Structure 1
Amino acid sequence: MEDILNAIVLLSNFVIVPGLAYGAQLALGALGVTLIYAVLRFSNFAHGDLMAFGTMAVILVTWTFQSVGISAGPVPTALLALPFGILAAIGISLLFDRSVYKFYRTKKSPPVVFVIASVGVMFMLNGIVRFIIGPGDQNFSDGGRFLIKAREFKEMTGLNEGLAIKTSQGITIIVAFLVMIALFWFLQKSRTGKAMRAYSDNEDLALLSGINPDRVVLYTWIIAAALATIAGTLYGLDKSFKPFTYFQLLLPIFAAAIVGGIGNPLGAIAGGFVIAFSEVTVTYAYKKFLIYLGPEGWAPDGLVQLLSTDYKFAVSFVILVLVLLIRPTGIFKGKVI
């Protein structure tokens, strides 16, 4: 029985807890992508770099707070800086909407034109972030590092394996849960949220009903920018901040949105966790886990690892291709909000 408990703790350390945290981050990112797709009707390829821009703003404000002695105690100071990062992301999103997307919206351009324009915005954002904060890793995490330490868990339970839960992982899961609840309440109960859903379902009918399209576009960008900044900041706290990493995150984020059913917020959340756990489980080395469950003295040859962690983004790509071939509408059939 003790070996089974050790195996469960080991799996929790390296698969379950990291998968939940990573899945929450991907879900928040996919929610932003699916919101833009559902309301504005195009795939925003600049979303990953919008995450990087918002996170960069959070980092700069965090460093400023730290330099003058402002902190949040046991939790990261970045949480205090988060509203400033959200405002910066909203500002840059509205700037690009007014200077780029509005022109094509006025001309009633097809979605592919918006996609191409978003690729241009993506490179511009990437260049801005690299110019301001640099291309390397940036550390901005402070406060308590662990909610549960492995040594304390071992002493408390007497097991060989210790469970360690980082503060950033706990914050990620809690914040993501609260943000998702707030977003669904806004879309379902608020007047603006209902207008956004009506505009998404039928633009012409929504306009005839007196819904202001500019107001819908404004709130869509505000929400998408806020989700991008929160997702990017949580990812940076949990792992690290590097501009190119956020560019790479675009693939699993889009995979999550499409797997769940692009245009469906519930699907984005489900897709985020599907992609996250797929990446984590396929790249984990199961040797020690199997030793606990196997006969005494038995050990498998090799690490029992299906793929190296270097190929984790390939898992997202394979799942994305399979879903597009087998079920293009995704888990929730791509229903709009």
Structure 2
Amino acid sequence: MDPVSALVTLTNFVLIPGFAYGSQLALGALGITLIYSILRFSHFAHGDVMAFGTMVVIFTTWGFQAIGITGGGVIPTALLAIPVGIAVMIVYLLVADRLVYRFFRQVKAKPLTFVMASLGVMFVTNGLTRLFIGTSERRFEDGERFIFSVRDFREWTGLAEGLALRSSQAITIVTALLVMAALFWFLTRTKSGKSMRAYSDNEDLALLSGINPERVVTMTWMIVAGLVVIAGTLYGLDKGFRPINYFQLLLPMFAAAIVGGLGSPIGAIVGGFVVAFSEMGITYAWRRFFTHLMPEDMAPDSMLQLLPVDYKFAVTFAILVIVLIFRPTGIFRGKSI
């Protein structure tokens, strides 16, 4: 038995990828829960908006590389392009709000009307993304690929099992933590953040207190723009960019927001990691891990994989259904759907 090698295997194939993927889902789910709690509708265009913002970052990255502006070491050029992507996304979301959502707010339309409107925005955004960048996969990472590789780890430790930490994974985890900390500081320590929370808790009382609803809406879209561009860029650096992949992310992000509790930022973060590790754990082949923990004559013969990787979204859907049936308010008792 070799528990150290088992831990290394678990870290390499489940823990590190799970934390990176969970961080990406958490950032996306934060945007969904902000829109739901403040603007009071489910934003079904979220995945395609994320793809559009990432596309802008990719084009900016290529432009920077063409004129000689690049990152250094493990820092990819795409991180330098994120502010441009956020600026464009702020404009895009504010224009979409003025042209589509604002009218329905003024007439106090039902939430289902907003959902249908967001589907229209989704189709338009998806079409624009496919028109400008196409449907094939795009890789836009540069710089050093690994913080340390499997070979480096084996040389350092002398272990048979290897462990690698990709630059995209480390950048994702660190960036996500910084963004989450900055968001919580904004919501709890600034006047604008407190006005957003007040508007979310009680719209009528917030209006009587002199809070400008249009200003709250504008700030919400600006924060969401930052979250979707950062999350989309980190996901693209880690797994590559294809528009269809971002559409498929819509289910895990919504599941993360609902599992944690819609309207709860902490819940969105926790839900992101719950969904990520559930997908990783159920679709991972555990044979190698348990082989290190059991005597040689008792080593498992099967792959010990509950579901193939192709069924990871089925895991997310199952989690979503279970939560909606038994605890529709989520872990942190957010707003039920």
What's the CA shift for 1:297?
4.3
Corresponding position of 2:70? 71
Distance 2:78 2:180 in 1: 20
Distance 1:325 1:264 in 2: 19
Provide, for residues 173-219 of structure 1, a one-character-per-residue CA deviation record: whole Å limited to 9, x for no partner. Answer: 00000000000010011111111111111111111111111100000
Distance 1:61 1:211 in 2: 37
Corresponding position of 2:303? 303
Corresponding position of 2:138? 138
Unaligned segments of structure 1, at least 5 residues: none
Superposed counterparts of 1:8-157, under 5 Å: 8-74=7-73, 75-157=75-157
What's the CA shift for 1:301?
2.3
Corresponding position of 2:284? 284
What's the CA shift for 1:298?
4.0
Provide, for residues 61-89 of structure 1, a one-character-per-residue CA deviation record: whole Å limited to 9, x for no partner. Answer: 00111112211111110000000011111
Distance 2:194 2:298 in 1: 60
Distance 1:298 1:197 in 2: 56
Tell me the amino acid that sits aligned with residue 105 of structure 2: R
What's the CA shift for 1:302?
2.5
Distance 1:211 1:289 in 2: 55
Distance 2:157 2:235 in 1: 31
Corresponding position of 1:201? 201
Distance 1:119 1:302 in 2: 44
Report the more deviating stretch, 311-320 or 291-300: 291-300
Report the secondary structure of 1:147's partner residue.
strand
Tell me the amino acid that sits aligned with residue 162 of structure 2: G
Report the secondary structure of 1:177's partner residue.
helix
Distance 1:60 1:303 in 2: 42
Distance 2:55 2:281 in 1: 30
Distance 2:140 2:299 in 1: 41
Corresponding position of 1:190? 190
RMSD, aligned α-carbons: 1.0
Corresponding position of 2:238? 238
Distance 1:38 1:322 in 2: 22
Distance 2:68 2:193 in 1: 40
Tell me the amino acid that sits aligned with residue 131 of structure 1: L
TM-score by length of 2: 0.98
Distance 1:199 1:21 in 2: 32
Report the more deviating stretch, 292-301 or 185-194: 292-301
Moved over 4 A (4+): none
Tell me the amino acid that sits aligned with residue 49 of structure 1: D
Superposed counterparts of 1:243-258, under 5 Å: 243-258=243-258
Distance 1:306 1:87 in 2: 43
Report the secondary structure of 1:140's partner residue.
coil
Report the secondary structure of 2:147's partner residue.
strand
Distance 1:332 1:323 in 2: 12
What's the CA shift for 1:335?
5.8
Distance 1:23 1:334 in 2: 20
Q: How many residues align?
A: 335
Report the secondary structure of 2:174's partner residue.
helix
What's the CA shift for 1:293?
1.1
Report the more deviating stretch, 33-42 or 69-78: 69-78
Distance 2:236 2:224 in 1: 18
Report the secondary structure of 1:275's partner residue.
helix
TM-score by length of 1: 0.98
Corresponding position of 1:328? 328
Percent identity over paired residues: 63
Report the more deviating stretch, 91-100 or 295-304: 295-304
What's the CA shift for 1:294?
1.4
What's the CA shift for 1:304?
1.2
Provide, for residues 125-164 of structure 1, a one-character-per-residue CA deviation record: whole Å limited to 9, x for no partner. Answer: 0000000000110010001100121111111111111110
Distance 1:167 1:298 in 2: 37
What's the CA shift for 1:165?
0.5
What's the CA shift for 1:56?
0.3
